[in-house]
Amino acid sequence: MINVKSIGVILGVSTVLTLGGCADANETENSTNETVSEQVDYTITGIEPGAGITGMAHQTLEGYGNLEGWELEESSTGGMLTLLDQAIANEEPIIFTGWAPHWMFSEYDLKYLEDPEGTMGDVESIHTIARVDFETEMPNAYKILDAFQWEVEDMEAVMFGAQESSFEESAANWIEANKDKVDMWLEGTEKVDGKEVELVSTPWDTERASSLVAKAVLEQQGYEVTVTDVDPAVLFEAIANGSADASLAPWLPTTHASFYEKHQDNIVDLGENLTGAKNGLVVPSYMDIDSIEELEPKE
């Protein structure tokens, strides 16, 4: 490890020295002398204020002594992806809140920063939750959602397909191609006649994929399904107070832990619908940094 790194440093320096002859002297100085922390101006590029990952990023800023003086710049997922795209195009440094499954990891060469304090969580699962009376009132819908379980590859297939069409169309294609799996979810359930199911979800592609597949499968069985995208806090509140029936969106054990703990006595946890998700502080692979611990406090 040490050897590989020092080779990187030596190569980096000699490249700059070679360029030094013809490049603007000030520019060369800036790019060589600034630490990663200075280059990103002690700022982590974040997403929506209400996201679980935003809460974890704040805990990270509080939990690591070396992140003294750092800021999380909250914006939106779209805003973060635009900044990421620009940084990559110019090979500039950026540290952002990232997660998988997401196309960002197939589009760009990225790495998670090591997180020895674990404040960004470890491997996450996505759970299905329901309101307390859902099972007794809609046993067939409950049974289907309880059986709904799939793999990261399935979710990615729907997410990536949606980029060329829509989530509805991509969900329908996935269902068509995965009849065996869907039949397993439907096993032992009966068709109903136009009962309404209200699903709540969050406004990210991972949950659009699962919610729209669940919607289409429930509709095959005669349900009328609505999917409403809300903040995680509102989602848990809606299930706990019974204004929504179910959700396939909670990330646990860490991402949405605070909402889960607040409402756990008033919701039913149907368990994982997917495992192998992950959040973290993410950087382009060309950045010479591997761990959150290597960042430096702002003077």
Contact residues: ligand PBE, CB under 6 A: 51-53, 99, 202, 204, 206, 232, 251, 255, 279
**Which CB, 52 or 284, lies closer to ligand PBE?**
52
**Which CB, 121 or 221, lies closer to ligand PBE?**
121
Judge if the upstream peptide bond of residue 101 is cis by omega within 30 degrees of 0. Answer: yes
Q: CB 53 → ligand PBE: shortest distance, Å?
A: 3
Q: CB 223 → ligand PBE: shortest distance, Å?
A: 25
Distance of CA 39 to the CA centre of its chain: 25
**Which CB, 58 or 195, lies closer to ligand PBE?**
58
Q: CB 19 → ligand PBE: shortest distance, Å?
A: 39
Q: CB 75 → ligand PBE: shortest distance, Å?
A: 13
**Which CB, 85 or 231, lies closer to ligand PBE?**
231
Q: CB 251 → ligand PBE: shortest distance, Å?
A: 5
Contact between 239 and 102 under an 8 Å Cβ cutoff? The reply is: no
Give the 3-state secondary structure of the chain: CHHHHHHHHHHHHHHHHHHHCCCCHHHHHHHHHCCHHHHCCCEEECCCCCCHHHHHHHHHHHHCHHHCCCEEECCCHHHHHHHHHHHHHCCCCCCEEEEECCCHHHHCCEEECECCCCCCCCEEEEEEEEECCHHHHCHHHHHHHHHCCCCHHHHHHHHHHHHHCCHHHHHHHHHHHCHHHHHHHHCCCCCCCCCEEEEEECCCHHHHHHHHHHHHHHHHCCCEEEEEECCHHHHHHHHHCCCCCEECCCEECCCCHHHHHHHHHHEEEEEEEEEEEEEEEEEECCCCCCEHHHCCCCC
Q: CB 190 → ligand PBE: shortest distance, Å?
A: 33
**Which CB, 12 or 49, lies closer to ligand PBE?**
49
**Which CB, 127 or 181, lies closer to ligand PBE?**
127
Q: CB 207 → ligand PBE: shortest distance, Å?
A: 6
**Which CB, 73 or 92, lies closer to ligand PBE?**
73
